[in-house]
C-alpha cells in the first residue's frame, strides 16, 4: 500500500501510527528555507509493516513529498494494492500539488485509492467535503477525515481503502 501526498502532509506520521516496526525512514535535514515548515523530510521512502500471518505481510510505503524525488514514485507504485493520498487540510498552498500527485499516481496504476484529509483536529482545517470540491475528486472516490497521529483514525483510512479494493475486485468479477 502506498501513502503519498505533498511535502509535510503527515505521511511518515501516518505510517508510524500503525506500523508494528519503527518506521524505516530516510529523513534528512531540510536545506531550503522555503520548505522549512518542519526540520526533516523524507528523501527516498518511509517503510512500515503490518504482519497478518507467516505468508502475508502488508507493507506501507510512504513516498517522498518533494517533487525533486518524484523519480521514486513510479518505483514505489509498482505492484501496489492501492494508494492513499494524504492532504494537509490546513495548507491550501499544497492542494495544487496534491492534485498533481493524485493524477500522477492514477496514471501509474488503476488500483483503488482514497484521499485522507489530514490534520482535521486543527481549527483551520478545510472539511473533507470542501477538499473534495477543491481537488475535483469524483463522488465515487472516498475523501476521509484523518488525524495521522491518531491510530484509530489511520486504521479507519486503511480499512476504507481495503473496502474499496474489495468492492473493486467484486465489480471486476461482475
**The residue count for the chain:** 174
Q: How far is the CB of 74 from other proteins (least distance, A)?
A: 9
Nearer to other proteins, 35 or 107 (CB): 107
Distance CA 18, CA 35 (A): 27
Q: Which is nearer to other proteins, 67 or 151 (CB)?
A: 151
* DSSP per-residue codes, 81-126: S-EEEEEETT-GGGHHHHHHHHHHHHHH----EEEEEE-TTSTTPP
Min dist. Cβ of residue 27 to other proteins (A) = 24
Report the half-sphere exposure of 14 (CA within 13 A, side-chain side).
33
State how far the Cα of 20 lies from the Cα of 2, in Å rounded to an integer: 16
In terms of CB distance, is 24 or 81 closer to other proteins?
A: 81
Binding site for other proteins (CB under 8 A): 18, 50-53, 56, 58, 78-79, 81, 92-93, 95-96, 107-110, 123-127, 129-130, 133-134, 151, 155, 158-159, 162-163, 165-166, 169-170, 172-173
Least gap, CB of 72 to other proteins (angstroms):
15
Residue with Cβ nearer other proteins (21 or 166): 166
Amino acid at each position: 500500500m502506498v501513502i503519498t501526498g505533498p511535502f509535510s502532509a503527515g505521511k511518515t506520521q501516518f505510517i508510524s501510527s500503525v506500523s508494528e516496526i519503527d518506521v524505516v525512514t530516510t529523513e534528512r535535514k531540510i536545506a531550503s528555507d522555503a520548505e522549512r515548515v518542519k526540520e526533516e523530510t523524507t528523501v527516498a521512502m518511509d517503510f512500515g509493516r503490518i504482519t497478518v500471518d507467516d505468508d502475508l505481510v502488508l507493507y506501507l510505503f510512504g513516498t517522498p513529498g518533494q517533487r525533486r524525488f518524484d523519480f521514486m514514485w513510479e518505483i514505489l507504485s509498482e505492484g501496489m494494492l492501492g494508494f492513499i493520498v494524504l492532504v494537509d487540510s490546513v495548507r491550501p498552498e499544497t492542494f495544487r500539488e496534491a492534485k498533481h500527485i493524485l493524477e500522477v499516481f492514477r496514471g501509474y496504476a488503476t488500483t483503488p485509492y482514497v484521499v485522507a484529509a489530514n490534520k482535521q483536529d486543527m481549527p483551520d482545517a478545510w472539511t473533507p467535503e470542501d477538499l473534495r470540491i477543491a481537488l475535483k475528486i469524483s463522488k465515487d472516490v472516498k475523501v476521509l477525515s484523518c488525524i495521522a497521529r491518531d491510530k484509530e483514525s489511520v486504521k479507519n483510512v486503511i480499512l476504507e481503502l481495503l473496502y474499496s479494493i474489495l468492492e473493486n475486485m467484486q465489480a471486476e468479477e461482475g
